[in-house]
Amino acid sequence: MRIVLAGGGTGGHLYPALAVARGIKERFPEAEILFVGTNRGLESQVVPKEGFRFSAITAQGLERRLSWRTVSTLAKTLRGFWESRGILKRFRPDLVFGTGGYVCAPVLYQAHRLGIPVIIHEQNAYPGVTNRWLSRYADMVLVTFEESRRRFPRARRIKTTGLPVRPVIFTAEREKAAGELGLDPKQLTLLSVGGSQGARSLNQAMLKVIERFNRCPGVQVIQVTGPAGFEDTVAALSERGLNPGEKGNIKIIPYAHDMENALAAADLIVCRAGASTLAEITVRGIPSILVPYPFASENHQEYNARALERAGAAEVLLDRDLNGEVLLKAVESILLDQARREKMAAAALAAGHPEALPLILGEVEALLGTGLK
């Protein structure tokens, strides 16, 4: 069995593909897997470290306006189509699986032209332009959010599977996780995180929240500032007479290397609305205050956030409206209201897809015609 996985540029496209690759290898140890991406994307560094073969093609996202750069990009794209065809003919895969990003366009299209079965997985509630275009050529489109199905009108077959999450997200236990982080598992825990690089607007708004809950009995706060925002956050808190370095109920860290522990300890999370983040917080059943990244392509993070809001699992605050008072009001209305918090937690669990990976692997098996269980 040979399978090509395409997708990358960002972690949002890459890590779901890696989860699928690991699942395939676990179920079919003899399977040969090849990742196709670009040398400029995250995948060129991460995939080889994960022990998978990697081939690079020339690919670049097209701009929406005509310019000399557009002409150059188009030339690179055409070259990528030719390179993809060569890779597929040499590797001779039984299936090509794409998770989005412009690198998927040449790989999946050429797979279709060569008669190779194609599966697309879409992570976001509002599908990316590449996946929308490719859906007409795919044998199966898998989606994370139910509402994104209607945005694939030309898809032959479509199924809601959810987004795979790391196994450790399921297995982390609150008491042990809190101990690892120096927290009390019996206290209400607020977690704020703006992604791997942090979020300036979240960090600034959290100052008011930390001021309110500093040394507040029964409540503890862990804020992941991102490396770039750590010193500014600590300095701003010091100006307010707060020293998060002292032993207390406030913990400020630049990066969470063990995010599974932070999630296991959390009763409420303030975060962006990337698909992977939402997949993790829903399988854990964590109520959330979501602040979509305002510059995400096609505003897809707001679509993700609104889907959870409609399910009753989240409250959405737009970045342009965010300030300390607004965030504090939202935090207090959930964290300090047990009935609402429990209702949102149940809604989050109901919206989650803990079975995502087995469902996706089932579709891979079905398309390959293995008949294996």
CA distance 331 to 115: 53
Measure the CA–CA gap between 81 and 95, rounded to whole angstroms: 18
Work out the pLDDT band at 84, boundaries 50, 70, 90: very high
Give the whole-angstrom CA distance, residue 6 versus residue 119: 10
Helix (H) or strand (E) holding 268: strand 268-271
Which residue shows structure tokens 């890779």?
A: 87
Structural domains in the chain plus CATH codes: 2-163+354-368 (3.40.50.2000), 168-351 (3.40.50.2000)
Helix (H) or strand (E) holding 53: strand 53-56
**Which residue is it, tokens 């149940």?**
346
- Angle, alpha carbons 102-228-274 (nearest 5°): 40
Q: Whole-angstrom Cα distance, residue 204 to residue 223?
A: 11
pLDDT in tens, 14-70: 989 999 999 999 999 999 999 999 988 889 889 999 999 999 998 766 555 555 566
Q: Judge whether residue 119 has pLDDT over 60.
A: yes
Whole-structure pTM value: 0.91
Do 282 and 349 form a contact (C-beta atoms < 8 A)?
yes
pLDDT tens for each residue of 243-284: 876 668 999 999 988 899 999 999 999 999 999 999 999 999
Which tokens belong to 171?
């297995």
